[in-house]
Amino acid sequence: MKLRGLYAITDSQLLAGKFLSYVEAALEGGVTLLQYRDKSSDEARRLREAEALRDLCDRYKTQLIINDDAELAARLNVGVHLGQTDGPLMPVRALLGRQAIIGSTCHAQLELAEQAAKEGASYVAFGRFFNSNTKPGAPACSLDLLDQARSKLHLPICAIGGITLDNAAPLVAHGVDLLAVVHGLFGAESTAEVTRRARAFNELFKS
Ligand SMILES: Cc1ncc(COP(=O)(O)OP(=O)(O)O)c(N)n1
Ligand SMILES: Cc1nc(C(=O)O)sc1CCOP(=O)(O)O
Ligand SMILES: [Mg+2]
């Protein structure tokens, strides 16, 4: 499966009271990957929500990725996204199998991406590219790094951090395969606007 297009990421606070309706609206507009990102330790709710997302993703033929939690990903037979403090990648690859999608946060460091590629990552994520409401403290990353990454790496490149429809086009022009977005997608006022935004993000990959 080609990993290219919109990578929608959930946010439990932003989506409170409209979680599934907003996610479904995004899937309606087209989502290549959907990440369940919930930083709480409420295991029961996390399992319930992740199962609901898996069922929704099955209906829309979208791939579900769980943030941080390889055990939950294994339980649901879906992919996982790992940051630099979320544990080593290789045992997770062994746990989830060769086909599973495993993403790796590489901040603004090409060496981290080269290491992740060696260890079997399915995609590497660089960021943050713009100011992020969701994660204000994330280290900054430049378009120059994308050019270097594009020439050195042979796996999909994901960009994250403050991405909106107004600032995403240069990222795609610099070789990004996946646009990972929270507020720029789910910060919309209505489900119709979420769907419109998802479609518009995907349009950026067609020109
Ligand atoms: C697609 C994508 N890229 C980066 C991250 C950030 O992961 P991490 O550094 O582990 O931070 P948290 O998201 O866990 O707070 C991500 N989740 N997804
Ligand atoms: C979860 C996350 N990781 C980042 C990184 O730079 O590693 S930025 C980020 C938040 C992305 O949300 P928004 O689209 O609202 O800025
Ligand atoms: Mg993490």
Ligand nearest to the CA of 136: 2
Task: Give ∠ CA 60-98-179 in degrees, rounded to 5.
Answer: 45
**Res 60 pLDDT > 80:** yes
CB of 4 shorter than 6 A to ligand 2: no
CA distance 201 to 13: 23
Phi, psi of 206 (to 5 degrees): -95, -20
CA distance 138 to 154: 25
DSSP secondary structure code for residue 118 in this structure? H
- Is the alpha carbon torsion for 131, 134, 139, 145 positive or negative? negative
DSSP secondary structure code for residue 182 in this structure? S
> What ipTM was predicted for this assembly?
0.99
CB of 131 shorter than 6 A to ligand 2: no
Kindly list the protein residues whose Cβ atom lies closer than 6 A to any atom of ligand 1. Answer: 7, 35, 37, 67-68, 81, 83, 86, 103, 105, 125, 158, 160, 180
* Whole-number average pLDDT of the chain: 97
- As a whole number of Å, the CA-based R_g of the chain is 16
**Res 207 pLDDT > 90:** no
Calculate how far, in angstroms, residue 163's C-alpha sits from the geometric centre of ligand 2: 9
Calculate how far, in angstroms, residue 8's C-alpha sits from the geometric centre of ligand 1: 12
Tokens of 53: 């997302």
**pLDDT for the residue 37:** 98
Q: If pLDDT is split at 50, 70 and 90, which confidence band does 162 have? A: very high
Q: What is the pTM of this model?
A: 0.98
Task: Give ∠ CA 96-98-104 in degrees, rounded to 5.
Answer: 70
Calculate how far, in angstroms, residue 81's C-alpha sits from the geometric centre of ligand 1: 7
